A and B are shown apart, each in its own frame.
Chain A
Amino acid sequence: MARQSRFHGGRWMAAWLTPWLLPAIGLLAMYGPSFFDLLHGIWRTDEQGHGPIVLGISAWLLYRAWPRAMSLPDDRPRPLAAWLLLLPAAFFYALGRSQGILILEIGSLVWMLAGLVLLLRGPGALKAMWFPLFFMVFMIPLPGSLVDALTQPMKLAVSYVAENILYHLGYPISRTGVILQIGQYQLLVADACAGLHTLFTLEALGLLYLNLVRHASVVRNVALAVLIVPISFCANVIRVMVLTLITFHFGDEAGQGFLHGFAGLVLFMAALLLITGADTLLRLGIRRTGTA
């Protein structure tokens, strides 16, 4: 049989790899310049610093999922569905790339890849690669106006909670909007300190953790994915409090200098501990209900 000989013949690798050479050239022509611009532009800023990391992890996840996706025996290409993905993707790419709308330009990559997999392999391969493709969503830069609209209330809430906790611990702290006044120091809770992007980065990290741990329980996976939102919020509150206390005890320069980066590290450590902690609790809970 033709299919069989393709996989057991000497050039089996070339057989399933070569059709991909052409789309690979296309992808490079489309997104090579895009990623070059991103790496020399907004991916160098604090707010979008997670972009290249997510890109790298996505590439690694794709590489890992590739052999299985390509060796599913009963997969048949679905050209019609594929073109329904590829055509809009190409259109949105052209619009986004020419008019500088990054959400369309980079977002189109996910649809483009999904379309290509459907075109050259089939739905089975797409299913095997769904997580790497979905993970790419986290590297799409969101429009500034949307980020601003979502970040402002989060900043206010983070400032409010941090103020209240420190006040009840007996610190001389007051708050006007997102400006914290502690002792003689005034701190402005900046976008980067409490933003949507930390939530995004943490959600991406959490999902990656779930994907790698591969727990069978759907309840646990979904619960943890949802819990990451409040966990990110708590981690942000902890970071703002740490920064406030550093400034109060060691002065303005320490708070704005190297310890600012330290507070960022605290954020991720706290988030990681909270995520694994929540995961352990969930696991215990599931085991108990399972045995009961």
Chain B
Amino acid sequence: MSLRITPMWRRAATALLLMLGAVVLAQAFTPRARLAALSSDLKLEAAIPQAFAGWRVDPNAFAQVINPQQAALLSTLYAQTLTRTYIGPAGERVMLSIAYGTAQAGELELHRPEVCYVAQGFAIRAGGHSAVATDASPVPVQRLLARLGGRSEPISYWMRVGDDVIPSGVEQQVSRLKQGLRGWIPDGLLFRVSTLSTEPAAAYAQHERFMADLLQSVDPRTRRFLVGPVSPSRSPGDASVAATAP
């Protein structure tokens, strides 16, 4: 009697169908197109100008000392990083750091400065939000104040995940999910500017001037690489991007 079609077997078979359905659904909605493929030829080192709008790279800036463990971690997390110190028109010094990762998923996600500064022993205080005006829509910027002993470092940053510049960690996840369900594996870019200063308000204003000047000075493709949008459907009118779309 055990092998007759009992209600038990019917239920078991229905459950199997549901489970196989879930497997098919998961496969169907797994994003496979990498947004990063659209900008794989863009090299930050060349795309970000050495001098613009009165800012120029400080040739004497000390190369940042990074310990080997950290360098290994950085190279697994990011496809490209750029660290430079710029001197402004009035002699002010601004440190620029850009990190770019090709796939925003799980362990490879961009690390927000709130997290990585704290992990290095800094005490972090949120400094509120702001926005940098551009020709297109304004770019939302986060402000932080990092402290370690006597060192005070105001930080301004934005983070692009795929097409969107996102203000918070929660929106980082939501944005990744939205683009993932559209079939895209978003790339991620962290654009961070900081100065050593005990006057945060003045430093933040300086950062935003630097950001606005840089976004004005780079070519349209680099600007989209920095603040989005990058997917073909969201950045119309650029033949070079549309041509390489999968």
A is bound by B: yes
CB nearest to A17 among chain B residues: B2
Q: Is the CB of B118 within 8 A of A177?
A: yes
The interface residues of chain A lying within 8 Å CB-to-CB of B37 are none
Q: Is the CB of B19 within 8 A of A98?
A: no
B140 at the interface (CB under 8 A from A): no
Contact A119 B169 (CB under 8 A): no
Write out the residue numbers on chain A whose beta carbons fall within 8 Å of the beta carbon of B25.
Answer: 90, 94, 98
Contact A93 B26 (CB under 8 A): yes
Asked whether B202 is an interface residue with its Cβ less than 8 Å from the other chain, the reply is no
Which of these, A11, A23, A191, contacts B2 with CB under 8 Å?
A11
Asked if B12 contacts A144 (CB within 8 A), the reply is no
Q: Which of A29, A100, A143, A176 lies at the interface centre, i.e. has the most chain B CB atoms within 10 A of its CB?
A: A100
Q: Are the C-beta atoms of A98 and B180 separated by less than 8 Å?
A: yes
| Cross-chain contact A19 with B106 (CB below 8 angstroms) | no
Complex Cα–Cα for A86 and B23 (A): 14
In the complex, which residues of chain A have a beta carbon less than 8 angstroms from the beta carbon of B123? 177
B148 at the interface (CB under 8 A from A): yes
Return the chain A residue nearest B30 by Cβ: A98
CA distance A177 to B117 in the complex (A): 11
Indicate whether A154 reaches chain B with its CB closer than 8 angstroms: no
Which residues does chain B contribute within 8 Å of A49, judged by CB atoms? none
Could you mark each residue 1-31 of chain B with 1 if its beta carbon is under 8 Å from any beta carbon of chain A, else 0? 1110010110111011011111101111111
B181: interface (CB < 8 Å)? yes
**Chain A at the B interface: SS class:** helix
* Chain B residue contacts of A94, Cβ below 8 A: 22, 25-26, 29
- The distance in angstroms between the C-alpha atoms of A200 and B180, with both chains bound, is 30
> Given known contacts A77-B8, A97-B30, A144-B107, is B22 in contact with A191 (CB within 8 Å)?
no
Closest to A15 in B: B2
- B242 contacts partner chain A, Cβ-Cβ < 8 Å: no
Whether A26 and B29, one on each chain, are in contact in the complex, defined by CB atoms closer than 8 angstroms, is: no
B18 x A77 contact (CB < 8 A): no
**Is there a chain B Cβ closer than 8 Å to A126's Cβ?**
no
CB-defined contacts of B3 to chain A, threshold 8 Å:
14, 18
Q: How large is the interface on B (under 10, 10 to 19, 20 to 34, 35 or more residues)?
A: 35 or more
Residue in chain B with minimal CB distance to A11 = B2
Collect the chain A residues with CB atoms within 8 Å of residue B148's CB: 176-177
B54 interfacial contact with A, CB 8 Å: no
Contacts of B6 in A (CB 8 A): 19
Separation of A20 and B115 alpha carbons in the complex (Å): 46
Give A45 to B11 CA distance when docked, in angstroms. Answer: 40
Given A6-B1, A94-B22, A98-B27, verify A26-B118 contact (CB < 8 Å).
Answer: no
Q: Which residues of A contact B177 (CB under 8 A)?
A: 99, 101
B16 touches A99 (CB 8 A): no
Q: Give the CA-CA distance A48 to B150 in the complex, in Å.
A: 36
Residue with the highest number of chain B CB atoms closer than 10 Å, among A42, A99, A152, A179: A99
Residues of B within 8 A of A (CB): 1-3, 6, 8-9, 11-13, 15-16, 18-23, 25-31, 105-107, 109, 115, 118-123, 148-149, 169, 172-173, 176-177, 180-181
Query: B-contacting residues of A (Cβ < 8 Å)?
Result: 2, 5-6, 9, 11, 14-15, 18-23, 25-27, 29-30, 41-42, 45, 77, 79, 82, 86-87, 90-91, 93-95, 97-102, 112, 115-116, 119-120, 143-145, 148, 152, 176-179, 188, 190-191
Can you name 13 A-B residue pairings with CB atoms under 8 Å? A22-B13, A26-B20, A27-B19, A30-B19, A41-B107, A94-B26, A95-B29, A99-B31, A120-B12, A143-B173, A152-B118, A176-B149, A188-B121
